[in-house]
Amino acid sequence: MDALVEQKVTTWLNGAYDDDVKTSIKNLQQSNPDELADAFYRNLEFGTGGLRGIMGVGTNRMNKYTVGMATQGYTNYLKKSFPDEEIKVAIAHDSRNNSRFFAETAANVFAANGLRVFLFEDLRPTPELSFTIRQLGCKGGVVCTASHNPKEYNGYKAYWVDGGQLVPPHDKNVITEVEKIGDVNDVKWSGGEANISIIGKDLDDAYAR
């Protein structure tokens, strides 16, 4: 196995990762080393639209940790962009496997950093997320979806204050901030539950009008 892959695997086995994640890695070491190598040979890239990839353990997969680190980087950029302002974000998701989990993961990280979070109670279409960002005066937002990709995939799309996906220069600036997050210990995972509001029907009614 490549030395870089081995280093990343060792970091996950010895770091602040959940026990079930470590068990999954050990199982792959025994049963499918090629899949393990693919899961760790690179970091899942935060592109202009956000993240998209196969779900599973590893730095090249959609999971709690890659989503959390991306959210921390996005949070850091929002704070730099809107200093001394209240920062609100809206989060929506579709019906894909783990979309709700990833949405809640993002919500917890945003909230732990002091942002005010509006999380939809259940699945919503992406255009409603764009509407909600503008309706509630949010500085940004996230929708967890992988659109047309196979069921093994999921994604994380980041939005800006105008309700649209990130465009220059914000896309590259967010990517820069995400790339600075080198470890899960750089992420604030919890402690801001009071900053999360669950939204639903009121926004549906406003969106329908």
> Per-residue pLDDT for the chain (209 aa), expressed as one digit of tens each?
689 999 999 999 999 999 999 999 999 999 999 999 999 999 998 887 799 999 999 999 999 999 999 999 999 999 999 999 999 999 999 999 999 999 999 999 999 999 999 999 999 999 999 999 999 999 999 999 988 889 999 999 999 999 999 988 999 999 999 999 988 999 999 999 999 999 999 999 999 98
Long-range contacts of 150-154 (CB under 8 A, 24+ apart): 151/96, 151/97, 152/54, 152/55, 153/52, 153/53, 153/54, 153/55, 153/62, 154/52, 154/53, 154/55, 154/62, 154/96, 154/97, 154/98, 154/99, 154/102
CA distance 134 to 138: 6
- Give me the catalytic one of 95, 147, 190, 197: 147
190 found inside a domain: yes
- Give the chain's radius of gyration (CA, Å): 17
Is residue 122 left, alpha or beta, with left meaning phi > 0 and alpha meaning psi from -120 to 50?
A: beta
Which amino acid is located at 136 in the chain?
L
Domain membership of residue 123 as a residue range:
62-208
First and final CA of the chain: distance in angstroms?
57
103 found inside a domain: yes
pLDDT of residue 182: 85
Which amino acid is located at 5 in the chain?
V
H/E segment holding residue 92 = strand 88-93
Is residue 163 left, alpha or beta, with left meaning phi > 0 and alpha meaning psi from -120 to 50?
A: left
CA distance 58 to 75: 22
110 found inside a domain: yes
CA distance 208 to 45: 35
Give the CATH number for residue 195. 3.40.120.10
Total domains present in the chain: 1
111 found inside a domain: yes
Q: What is the pTM of this model?
A: 0.96
146 found inside a domain: yes
pLDDT of residue 14: 96
4 found inside a domain: no
pLDDT of residue 1: 67
Contact between 28 and 57 under an 8 Å Cβ cutoff? The reply is yes
186 found inside a domain: yes
Give me the residues paired with residue 143 across strands. 92, 157
47 found inside a domain: no
pLDDT of residue 47: 81
Cβ neighbours of residue 149 closer than 8 Å, sequence gap 6 or more:
52, 155
pLDDT of residue 147: 82
Active site residue 147: yes
